[in-house]
Structure 1
Amino acid sequence: MNYQKIVKTIFSMGFLLLTFLVFHETVMAQDSAYFIGPRDVLSVTVYAGGEEQLKVRMTVTARGMINVPFIGSLKAEGRTTSELESLITKPMATDYFVNPEVNVNILEYHSLRYYISGAVSSPGLYEMRSKTTLMRLIAKAGGVLPDRGNLAYILRDSTEQIAKGQNVEKLLSHKEPKKANLKKLLDEGDMSHDMPLQSGDVVYIPLEKAMKAESKIYVEGEVRSPGIYDYRPGLTALNACIMAGGFGRFAAPNRTRIIRKRNGRQKIIRIDLNEVKMGRIPDVELKPGDMINVPETWL
């Protein structure tokens, strides 16, 4: 095995383990400052006169509301448990009980959701107790695989699409991802590349073979900036033409060709990118090495 690859793997695994141990206590310490969100499950208990007067279990609605007996609808989203206890205590003390004590506990955390896939040990959906970072999510997913690539793609507000069965690579063709340099973060320990994540983020880490230098696409013909461009998972023919500056004045997008070479054989895919732009037909997802040719109009 390549010596450098052994060192890289050992460093990455050790660094991830250290990060997980360091951040474990931090994450748990942050629970008290957790802000309640949609889908969280709460327990509300009211004590008065030395006895338990009320105990209810409730789920925060998609709009961030809960329905408390005696009081009615309250906004729970964005509040800590302490803030919600104070909000409930005031009307309880005014109209129902003498010196009530209100306890709010979070039974299930569901509002902070992140999805990670690709070259990690345990890809999937993760629900966290506090806001997280790329490094923490990778650690939660068991660390990266030895043959991971050097980039991570981050898609905002995308966990719902994944939950509905959308493919990550398809999402990449419709959204512009943020990119994180894993070589800097994992191999060199540069924490400035540990990007903060937002609830709803999807993280995709391709395998190394999909990220090699030869993973390029070629755009030629009647586009404003023909040339060689980096391939990324989910890239489509129309998006590639947009990357190349858009269509030229004499372009005929309706006769676009995609030339694909595999195992010494050439395949030509014809596509009308005018129809794609108008949403009438689906775009074609590209493969590394594809060449897109936009011909001139016959007029």
Structure 2
Amino acid sequence: MIRCVWALCLSLILASCATTGNTPAGAPPMDAVQTQAVDAYRIGVDDQVQVAVWRNPELGITVPVRPDGMISVPLIGDVLAGGRTPPEVAKDIQEKLAAYVRDPQVAVILTELRSHEYLSRVRVTGAVRQPVSVPYRPGMTVLDAVLAAGGLTEFAAPDRSELHRRTGDASRTFEVKLDRILNRGDLATNYPVAPGDVITVPERTF
């Protein structure tokens, strides 16, 4: 139940960031990538989170995580958020609220990633004007990251670009057609990025 509510709220937050077009074979659905990225994110000090309790709006709060890693929730007091994922915090709050609310349904939503400057970054390398390591933020796409790197150089081979992602011990690579994204408006490979992703843009072979 927690995960269902969490997924619903997450989809509403990220809906405005969704792109159009067909997803290439072998690539994860965009909604799945976004959900996995945020579900796996470990909340840091000063990140801002929203706690929503279904049908109990008076119990909802939006607060930053304190230096001790805690947030204060109505009825139950302090709950540890720092170092945990949003679904883990939601489960803890739900279990504690069960003593006061019948069948509570809780969602914990990241509204501002303030600790991500040192926790989560996305890197762009290769034939871009300024290779960069930029802070991850919810809704960020490949195009956002490439633009943060100043765009492509005249020597780039944009349609041979790749997105590299590590999940646990596994590593996956996805083809990114940057020329189609930039010049044709084809957003099929404009994937949402996740913390730790690396985007590489090779140079043309002369």
Normalising by structure 2, we get a TM-score of 0.48
**Structure number with larger C-alpha Rg:** 1
Normalising by structure 1, we get a TM-score of 0.34
